[in-house]
């Protein structure tokens, strides 16, 4: 069930990073005619954060995400594929913890206040998530569709490195035998770093 968790996607990100090191730092287009239509911007985002949850003894869950955003540089619309997890321990054991989440978003981005190295992005999409059945069944999972909306800011600090923050809403619900085995309506905050490339 953990075939596409954060550790496995980290390997993909490292490979993408090393393959894109010769690319130019990317910046959001101001108009469709301002960039070559043949170039593509890549943004790799790695962040940590979490959300409040009364089901957790700590009252919250912490986790992280790994994203690959791809934008044709002549247009402000792109796609983002990402994976996330939210747990109270290194390995999820409770049904209120998210062991695996993978989704695809459609994003719009643009310059913030007209500044080249500061841009916003917003959008949403759908995917799939899995939660453990419970402590007595550590290798069994429930899974269902997940939907999310997000909005954030990416600050290009130096070279190809940036910093980002996002707020997102996540929804997933599944009922088995009249019991809600998956139930998330969460507001999530994440902060992290970005690697920005153009090919």
**The two structure tokens encoding residue 197:** 């490339």
Q: Distance between CA atoms of 158 and 168, rounded to whole angstroms? A: 26
Check residues 10 and 66 and name the one with the higher pLDDT: 66
Residue 180 pLDDT exceeds 60: yes
pLDDT value, residue 37: 63
Strand, coil or helix: 44: strand
Nearest residue to 188 (alpha-carbon basis) of 174, 160, 167: 167
Q: Distance between CA atoms of 69 and 105, rounded to whole angstroms? A: 9
Render pLDDT for 29-87 as a digit per residue (tens, 0 to 9): 544 444 456 799 999 999 999 999 999 999 999 999 999 999 998 899 999 999 999 99
- Cβ atoms of 86 and 54 within 8 Å: the answer is no
Place of tokens 């940590």: 48
pLDDT value, residue 91: 85
Q: Distance between CA atoms of 168 and 153, rounded to whole angstroms? A: 12
Taken in order of first residue, the domains within the chain and their CATH numbers are 6-198 (2.40.160.20)
pTM: 0.81
Render pLDDT for 135-165 as a digit per residue (tens, 0 to 9): 777 689 999 999 999 999 999 999 999 999 9
CB atoms within 10 A of CB 114: 8
Residue 172 pLDDT exceeds 50: yes
Q: Mean pLDDT of all residues in the chain?
A: 86
């Amino acid at each position: 069930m953990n075939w596409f968790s954060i550790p496995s996607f980290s390997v993909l990100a490292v490979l993408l990073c090393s393959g894109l090191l010769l690319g130019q730092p990317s910046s959001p287009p101001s108009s469709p005619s301002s960039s070559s239509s043949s170039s593509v911007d890549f943004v790799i985002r790695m962040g940590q954060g979490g959300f409040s949850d009364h089901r957790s003894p700590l009252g919250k869950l912490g986790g992280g995400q790994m994203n690959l955003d791809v934008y044709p540089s002549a247009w402000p619309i792109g796609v983002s594929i990402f994976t996330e997890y939210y747990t109270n321990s290194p390995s999820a054991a409770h049904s209120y913890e998210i062991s695996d989440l993978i989704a695809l978003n459609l994003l719009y981005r643009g310059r913030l206040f007209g500044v080249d190295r500061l841009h916003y992005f917003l959008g949403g999409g759908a995917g799939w998530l899995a939660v453990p059945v419970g402590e007595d069944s550590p290798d069994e999972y429930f899974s269902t569709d997940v939907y999310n909306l997000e909005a954030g800011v990416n600050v290009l600090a130096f070279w190809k490195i940036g910093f980002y923050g996002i707020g997102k809403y996540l929804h997933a619900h599944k009922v088995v035998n009249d019991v809600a085995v998956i139930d998330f309506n969460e507001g999530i905050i994440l902060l992290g770093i970005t690697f920005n490339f153009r090919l």
